[in-house]
Structure 1
């Protein structure tokens, strides 16, 4: 089949999933932190994890509200 005779397909665009993106970056950052240098204190890292997940949820809710 020649390229000129192929029918055009509409381009599919995906919306950014901010919750997944920010949570993934948070866990990658925490993993890098644990792999490099001395182990961080769990008493400090637990609130950072919970706060980061809360921030990601807040951004995801704002993005969903703005899209509508």
Structure 2
């Protein structure tokens, strides 16, 4: 069996959206105006980590 490397960008983005979904299903969530910046910042951090891991893999 051949193993592949973890795609950190996809993993972190998926966890972010699952976390937001669970938050809204479990009870009254915060206003959507407050969640949009959180999602944008979270995706930005996930992208930054994805870029860093690719840079370190090439070494």
Give the TM-score, by structure 1 length: 0.80
User: Hey, which of these two has a bigger chunk of helix by percent?
Assistant: 2
**Structure-1 separation of matches of 2:10 and 2:54:** 13
More relative contact order, 1 or 2 (CA 8 Å, 6+ apart) = 2
* Pair 1:23-2:13 in alignment: yes
Give the TM-score, by structure 2 length: 0.92
Give the 4+ runs in structure 1 shifted more than 6 A.
Answer: none
| Structure 1 residues without counterparts, runs of 5 or longer | 1-10
What's the C-alpha RMSD, in Å, of the aligned pairs? Answer: 0.9
